[in-house]
């Protein structure tokens, strides 16, 4: 029997996992489970994908939709999305390709350029790179200082180093490589950091822009999960032209990567008012201190309504309003 009320769908909230962001994912999962229950969903279960019985619980649970509250490797990079596709279980947020591309920063940058979105200049270093002093000198001559060194595929600023001296570069590359495989070295764009959430599938729209205020060298993992009131300025203090341009670029990024449901693109706005994109998060954080829920609240969308909307978007265009057994149609 087809379900016409989305709250009658059985929802599996997927969280946890094995990445550096496991704890954050568990927090997101708990928050989303509570919000979905508050929104009236009759059956919501939290599943840790790292649990030995995860596959059995997912298969035996007769879930109509999976709510993906995962971050980092295996959860945000297309892996869990591929599993859900094989099992024909509809799921929230982006599909396999968009998830993989969004995680691979160098690939995403190529798509941003094609879409006319400004990006920082940078170099993608292959797996196993160990910089010699001559190589470090050449990189600095090419890109200048300061530089940001980061894993080519990781999130929440894990493994990111701000390099201000050539002598620091080799160690920064080694640190980033320990958090991933390839390493991205980029020019440090100075200015105001903002983030722009976008919601939707075929007709995405930007939510209020969040300006991120902080005193540290950059918006690192520690700062990201401090209370939102300490760092979030909504709406961002930008002139109207810059604000509209940043919103437009975020929607372009969402489309360029092929995102569904939601994305959140991070930018630096230069002193000249030019938004330069840093990355797009295909599964933004969903804790009480996270940027996306804070932006949505300022748009009049409470957290339970936001989570309900994500389930609706997951089912949109899939020929189902809620499956009956083992998930709906892919």
- Determine the Cα–Cα distance for residues 290 and 195; give it in Å rounded to an integer: 11
From the list 15, 28, 94, 281, the catalytic residue is 281
DSSP per residue over 266-283, as a string?
EEEE-TTS-EEEEEEESS
From the list 95, 285, 327, 328, the catalytic residue is 285
- Whether residue 279 lies in the annotated active site: yes
Which of 128, 216, 213 has its CA nearest to residue 173?
128
Would strands 183-187 and 147-151 be described as parallel, antiparallel, or unpaired? Answer: antiparallel
Cite the DSSP H helix spans in 211-263: 221-224, 240-257
181's tokens:
């495989």
DSSP per residue over 226-240, as a string?
S-GGGTEESS-S--H
DSSP per residue over 30-87, as a string?
HHHHHHHHHTT-SEEEEEETTSTTHHHHHHHTT-SEEEE---STTTSSSHHHHHHHHT
Query: Is the CB of residue 149 less than 8 Å from the CB of residue 169?
Result: yes
99's tokens:
């998830």
- Whether residue 5 lies in the annotated active site: no
- Whether residue 154 lies in the annotated active site: no
From the list 104, 186, 279, 294, the catalytic residue is 279
- Whether residue 322 lies in the annotated active site: no
From the list 104, 179, 266, 294, the catalytic residue is 266
From the list 62, 162, 181, 225, the catalytic residue is 225
Cβ within 8 Å of residue 112, ≥6 positions away: 118, 119, 253, 256, 277
From the list 20, 21, 77, 294, the catalytic residue is 21
From the list 15, 19, 25, 156, the catalytic residue is 156
- Whether residue 104 lies in the annotated active site: no
- Whether residue 21 lies in the annotated active site: yes
- Whether residue 216 lies in the annotated active site: no
- Whether residue 133 lies in the annotated active site: no
221's tokens:
């993992």
The neighbouring-strand residues paired with 263 are 198
From the list 264, 265, 290, 294, the catalytic residue is 264
Task: List the catalytic residues.
Answer: 21, 156, 225, 264, 266, 279, 281, 285
């Amino acid at each position: 029997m087809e379900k016409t009320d989305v709250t009658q769908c059985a929802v599996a909230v997927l969280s946890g996992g094995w990445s550096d962001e496991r704890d954050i994912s568990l927090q997101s999962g708990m928050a989303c489970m509570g919000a979905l229950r508050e929104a009236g969903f009759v059956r919501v279960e939290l599943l840790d994908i790292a649990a030995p019985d995860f596959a059995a619980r997912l298969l035996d649970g007769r879930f109509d939709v999976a709510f993906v509250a995962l971050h980092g490797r295996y959860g945000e990079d297309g892996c869990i999305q591929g599993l859900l596709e094989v099992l024909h279980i509809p799921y929230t947020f982006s599909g396999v390709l968009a998830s993989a591309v969004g995680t691979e920063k160098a690939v995403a940058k190529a798509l941003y350029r094609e879409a006319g979105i400004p990006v920082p200049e940078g170099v993608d270093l292959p797996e196993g790179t160990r910089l010699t002093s001559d190589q470090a000198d050449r990189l600095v001559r090419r890109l200048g200082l300061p530089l940001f060194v980061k894993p080519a595929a990781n999130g929440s600023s894990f493994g990111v180093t701000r390099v201000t001296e050539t002598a620091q570069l080799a160690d920064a590359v080694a640190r980033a490589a320990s958090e991933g495989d390839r390493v991205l070295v980029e020019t440090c764009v100075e200015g105001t950091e903002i983030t722009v959430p976008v919601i939707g599938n075929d007709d995405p729209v930007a939510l209020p822009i969040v300006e991120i205020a902080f005193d540290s060298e950059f918006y690192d993992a520690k700062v990201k999960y401090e209370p939102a009131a300490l760092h979030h300025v909504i709406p961002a203090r930008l002139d109207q032209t810059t604000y509209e341009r940043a919103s437009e670029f975020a929607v372009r990024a969402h489309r360029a990567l092929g995102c569904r449901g939601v994305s959140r693109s991070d930018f630096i706005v230069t002193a000249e008012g030019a938004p330069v994109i840093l990355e797009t998060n295909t599964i933004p954080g969903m804790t009480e201190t996270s940027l996306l829920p804070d932006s949505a609240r300022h748009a009049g969308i409470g957290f339970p309504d936001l989570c309900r909307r994500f389930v609706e978007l997951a089912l949109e265009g899939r020929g189902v309003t809620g499956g009956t057994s083992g998930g709906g149609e892919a």
